[in-house]
Structures are given as structure tokens and as C-alpha cells.
Chains A and B, each alone.
Chain A
Amino acid sequence: MSQSFDAISAQLRKRHRRSARLKWTSMGALGLAGLFLVLFFADMLSKGLPAFQQAYMQVELEYSEEASRMGRAAMDPEVARLVSRTFERVIPRMIRNDPDLLGTSETRWVLANSQVDQYLKGHASKLRDNERAVVDELAEEGRVALRFNTTFFSRGDSKMAESSGILAAAVGTVMTMLVTLAISFPIGVMTAVYLEEFAPDNRLTQLIEININNLAAIPSILFGLLGLAIFINFFGVPRSSPLVGGMTLALMTLPVIIIATRTALRSVPDSIRHAAFGVGCSRWQVVRDHVLPLAMPGIMTGSIIGLAQAMGETAPLIIVGMVAFIPDVSASFTQAATVLPAQIFTWAGEPERAFVEKTAGGILVLLAILIFLNASAVILRKKFERRW
């Protein structure tokens, strides 16, 4: 008896040790994942935060006859070399559009070029020693300074690092996502409603179900190839447009929405359906007035997650031509546009060093949007979820 008691307590200790080990290893796994995340964020923040500041300098501008032909002539030559070309080259146009400017002069803050910016931030810069001396002198007088980088949020891509921004890509992302949502949400929800509420359980619907699950796991680049073959080559949708990008991503999001919607519909208890049928509702009324509203939080959550996934996608968009150099904000669904991850990809390939911080800055913005989307999915679920 006492022997078997010993054996039992030994076994108990062993089992307790095992669960303690499991606890520690799983905590270790979590810690490791957390560590990677912290490292990633620290790296991105340290590289990306400087992107939100940009060097500006105060210059005296003389709108002379010569400046109306060559912008550089409006400034002191020593300073002109430090000013961004994106400002300098529009001076002739400014004078052309407003002839009263001619012969006047003014002092204003303008964008400095990226070499000045990198020098002020303490990074490697190609400024020569005499140019550095000029910048140092100006900095002492308070005529060159790092300020909040509004350009980053108000312009599109540029070859000049100092004036490149994410607005064009952000607008492109919004337009693309609108198209994706407008196509994949209704089709996805309707498909799921049919499969869950109407379709008989036979070989055919089983086959469809397997294929939908399969589609959700297909590498996204294949959807890009499909988009190229069908939307661009066959239907003639303009290449690089948010329309074709959105349609392609809709194909990718569709299975995610169908699966999420079906799960949400399935979690609505049958008693609700039976009660509705019992008071004489038609199938249409049951679905529209009872089942769909109850399943909506789950459907929304699934759709937002699907959309967030589509938003971070670049591979299929390379194929349909959305990874392109787009300085202008596009105004229609058929104009060429690019999206945030594509913009990040483009910047990562630029030889100029000043683009390193732009790349990291773009990643920070994309992460912020994704966190916002995923958080709103969680909040929606928490707020409207019902348990039976």
C-alpha cells in the first residue's frame, strides 16, 4: 500500500514537473517572439523616426529676369547648391503664373536638399567641406533647421529624397482597397449565405468548399498572373490602375471573406432560424432579418482581416504594374497609381542613402494603419459579439 502511494506521489511529481516544463517552454516561445517584435520595432523606429523631420532653410529670393529662365539664379550661388532642386526648378513656373513677382524679392523658408538634411542628422553626406562650413554657419544663425516633415505626408514619390512622400501611395491604397471591398464583400457574403443557408449538402457543394479553402492558401502571385491574363489582356482594364489592382486583390480576399462569413453564419444557433420559421418567415426573411444581422460582427471582423492582408500585399501588384514610379496623386480609378507596400519596395531599391529613412518611415506608417485596422476588428468583435 505504502509502496503504491510512493509510486503515485512520484508519478504526480513527475506530472507536475512536466506541466511546469511546458509552461516554461511556452513562456520562452512567447518571450522569443516578443523579443523579435521588440527588435524589429526598435530598428524601424530608430531608422524611421528621422524621416518625420526634414531640413528647411531660409533663403533670400530675387525674382529677376534671369530667374524666370533658370531658377537657380534667384538665390545666392553659395546657398543655391544647398536648396532642393524640387523648389529651384519651379521658380520659373511661379514667375510665369504670377508675372507680378518679377523684380520683387522675398525671404522664405524652403526645402533644403537631402545632403544638407543627412548632414544635419549626423548621417553620411556628400557635402564638401566648404559646403559644410556654410551649413554650420547658417545653422548657428538659425537659418537652417530640422522641422516636422509635412512633405512626407503631402507629396508622392520623388527622385529627390527630401521631397518624396507617401501621399500618392496612401491614396492609391485607399482607392485599391475600395475596389477590393466593393467586389469581394458582396460576392463573398452572398456566396457564403448560399452555401450555408440554401445549398444542399452534395458532392458538388463539397467540391466547391474544398476549392474555396484551397484558394485561400494559394500564393498571392498567382492571383497577379490571373489578373494580368483576364483583367488586363482580356478585358482591357488599364494597367497599373487601382481598378485592376483592386480587382486582383479582391480575388485574393474573396476566399478569406467566404470562410469567415460561413463560420459566422454557422455560429448563429439553429433555434433562431427555427423560431423565425415557426412564426411564418420565408427563408429570405430569416436570412435578412435574423441570421445576417447576428452574424455581422463576425463577418466584419473577417473582412477587415482579409482587407488588412490585401493591403500588405505586393507580389500580385508587381504583375499588374502597380509597382511603378508615381509622383502625382491619382485622381481616378483608371489612372496609374501605386500602394504603400509597393512604395516601400521602390524606396528600398534606391541607391541614395537618404532613402533608407524614407523606407523605414513608410514601414512605420503602414504598420500604424495595419494596427488600427486589426484593433478595430478586435473592438468590433468585442462590442457586438453575442454568445448563446
Chain B
Amino acid sequence: MNRTLKGRVFKTTIVAAAVMGVVGVAQARDQIRIVGSSTVYPFASYVTEEFGAVTDYPTPVIESTGSGGGIRLFCNGVGEGTPDISNASRRIKASEVERCEENGVTDVTEVKIGSDGIVFAQSSANEALDLTLEQLFLAVAAKVPVDGELVDNPYEKWSDIDASLPDREISIYGPPSTSGTRDAFEELVMEAASEEFEEYGDEAYTEIRSDGVYIDAGENDNLIVQRLSEDTKAFGIFGYSFLVENPDALVAASIEGVEAEPEAISAGDYPIARSLFFYVKNQHAEEVPPLYDYVEMFVSEEMIGELGYLADIGLIPLPEEEREATRQKVEERTRLQVSDLD
């Protein structure tokens, strides 16, 4: 009996040692690791899947962490546990590049892949609507100027803001403050419009009202889409790709007279549009052999071109010269400098 006990202890020790051993062994890094924006995620995961299917490399792992979270992980350092690529729905900030450099991530290439429009949409049961940025701002801001003074937003109906707008209650489903879409909305709508009003002084005003008119609908844009088909008087704020998938149920308001259409967004005419990027850690290029094969596949005409696969799922292609410029950068593995950022 004593012997069997010893045998058991021995076996347990071996199993434990094996588990520890697996942990210690260095990973074969044929697998690219990607983190970052949830807006870029659908496009990037399309490319990773394609990459896994047509090459002999394993499918890259891609995590949707948000742009800021992704860049933070990306800039944690070089080697093993750190990601090779970070997707972003905004440009990297100078402060983030500095942090990257402090941690030894000194050779990064910036790749611009396309644009995304943020739409202000409603159920297609309603009539088409055109809004200016100021009207949109007045509907969502926490404090608005009335007779030269800032007061809590008094507008309850669209017609209160401007008599030409419909006599309909204001009700807006939008992304929460952790979302990149919200960041972009604050920057492109709130900041831009608040500059037009003297009352806010020099500072950009980005506070969104919290009296129940603006309803925080969570990170899942599908929820907003579903709510809009039930709550026909409401509007929703979300990415263009969700509009493309629901052409029968939703209609977007035109902003400043410009419809949310691919050409207008790509050309920069549609005012609530942003560029999408990813950042490549060149220091990993040797250690992770498939890295640039993936990047080249991503920037190929087949993917990001006007008739590319990503356009089918809602990516708005860049104009042709810009696509060429992107491919040029990838070819040369251009290093991103802090001075490039404004």
C-alpha cells in the first residue's frame, strides 16, 4: 500500500512538472498576434481568416481590445508576449509613440487602410432628414447656449432646435464613453460644432447630456440597430458597416447636406468620417516570419481596393493615390516618427 502511494505521488509530480514545462517552453511564433480597435476588427479578422486559409501559416490571433487598449499592449515592449500589430480607429498619439519608444518599441510602420463613417440613422419608417453639425450638437450636448448663456439642455423636440425639423421627441441611442466611435463622435461633431459658439470660449466642449435623451446603448452596435427598428422615433449613432448590413431597416440622416455614402466618406466630404489604421512592429519581422506576408495581403487591391472584399463588408476604400502611398510605406517599412504626428 505504501508503494502505491509513493507511485501516486511520483505520478502527480511528473504531471505537475509537465504542465510547468509546457509553460516554460518558448512558443514557436508562426502565429501573428493582433490587438486593437473594435471598428477595425471585422476587417482585420476577415483578412486573418483569408490568410489562414490560403497560406500554410496558422491563422493570426486577433483580439478586440479597443484602439487605446490595443496601443497600450502594443507599446508594452518587444518580444514574445507582446502583440505584433495593433489596429486603431484613430491615429496613434504622440504621447503613445513616446511611451512605445521608452519601452524599446522604436521601429513601427503606420498603415492606413481605409475610412469609416459614423452614421446618425433612424428607422426607415421615417422620412429622410438633413441635419447640420450644430443641430446635432444642440441635440446631444449637456449644456447649450441660450441667449448668450450656457444652460442645461432644454430641447425636448427636434422642432425646438429649429422649426424646420420634425415635431418629434429627441431620443438618441449611442455608444458608451469607452468606445472609439464615441471618441470620434465627440471629436468630429462636438468639438467641431462647439467652436462655432462663442459661449464655450476657447475650449472644445464634449460633454453629452445625461437627462435620458441620450441613451448609452453599450458597445454592441447590433443592439442599437435592433432598438431602432422597434423605437421608430429614435436615432442611433454607429459605424457605417452596420448601416450597410441593414439597408431595409435603417436610413441615415444626411449631415450638412451630404449623404453617408462611400464616395462622400472616402473623399472627406461627409463630415463625420475617420481613417482606420494599423501599426506594425518591425522589430518582430524576423522573429515572426509571416508578419509582412499578412500586411501585404491586407493592403492588396483584392482586399482594400474599390472592388475588394473588405468594401463588401463596409470598409470605405481610400482614394487610389492614398492606397498606392500605403503600399509604398509597407514596401519600404517606413518608420513612424513623432514628428509625423502633426
A interface vs B, CB < 8 Å? 85-86, 89-90, 92-93, 124, 126, 158-160, 232, 235-240, 243, 321, 323-328, 332-336, 348-353
A240/B63 in contact, CB under 8 A: yes
B50/A325 in contact, CB under 8 A: no
Main secondary structure of the interface of A (DSSP, over half): loop
B22/A348 in contact, CB under 8 A: no
B interface vs A, CB < 8 Å? 19, 22-23, 25, 27, 31, 33, 38, 41-42, 45-46, 48-50, 52-54, 58-59, 61-64, 80-81, 219-222, 241-242, 244-249, 309, 313-314
Considering the complex, give the chain B residue whose CB is closest to the CB of A321. Answer: B63
Tell me, in angstroms, the Cα distance from A238 to B314 when the chains sit together: 33
Q: Which of B42, B80, B81, B249 contacts A350 (CB 8 A)?
A: B42
B248/A324 in contact, CB under 8 A: no
Q: Which of B31, B219, B248, B314 contacts A351 (CB 8 A)?
A: B314
Considering the complex, give the chain A residue whose CB is closest to the CB of B25. Answer: A334
A349/B222 in contact, CB under 8 A: yes
Expressed in whole angstroms, the minimum distance between the Cβ of B73 and any Cβ of chain A is: 9
Tell me, in angstroms, the Cα distance from A239 to B27 when the chains sit together: 11
Expressed in whole angstroms, the minimum distance between the Cβ of A145 and any Cβ of chain B is: 25
A324/B62 in contact, CB under 8 A: yes
Q: Could you pull out 12 A-B pairs where Cβ atoms are within 8 angstroms?
A: A86-B53, A232-B81, A236-B81, A240-B63, A243-B22, A324-B62, A327-B59, A328-B58, A332-B22, A351-B244, A352-B313, A353-B245
Given known contacts A334-B22, A351-B222, is B63 in contact with A89 (CB within 8 Å)? no
A238/B62 in contact, CB under 8 A: no
Tell me, in angstroms, the Cα distance from A350 to B43 when the chains sit together: 11
A328/B63 in contact, CB under 8 A: no
Q: Which of B61, B64, B81 contacts A336 (CB 8 A)?
A: B61
Given known contacts A159-B45, A350-B42, is B81 in contact with A238 (CB within 8 Å)? yes
Tell me, in angstroms, the Cα distance from A323 to B54 when the chains sit together: 24
A240 neighbours in B (Cβ, 8 Å): 61, 63
B245 neighbours in A (Cβ, 8 Å): 351-353
B244 neighbours in A (Cβ, 8 Å): 351
Pairs A-B, 3 closest by C-beta atoms: A336-B61, A325-B45, A159-B46
B80 neighbours in A (Cβ, 8 Å): 236
Tell me, in angstroms, the Cα distance from A240 to B31 when the chains sit together: 13
A232 neighbours in B (Cβ, 8 Å): 81
Expressed in whole angstroms, the minimum distance between the Cβ of B35 and any Cβ of chain A is: 8
Given known contacts A325-B48, A325-B61, is B222 in contact with A239 (CB within 8 Å)? no
A327/B49 in contact, CB under 8 A: yes
Tell me, in angstroms, the Cα distance from A337 to B184 when the chains sit together: 32
Tell me, in angstroms, the Cα distance from A333 to B15 when the chains sit together: 14
B27/A351 in contact, CB under 8 A: no
Tell me, in angstroms, the Cα distance from A236 to B82 when the chains sit together: 11
B45 neighbours in A (Cβ, 8 Å): 159, 325
B25 neighbours in A (Cβ, 8 Å): 334
Known: A124-B248, A232-B81, A349-B219. 13 other contacts (CB 8 A): A92-B54, A159-B49, A243-B19, A324-B62, A324-B63, A325-B41, A325-B62, A325-B63, A328-B58, A349-B222, A351-B42, A351-B244, A353-B245
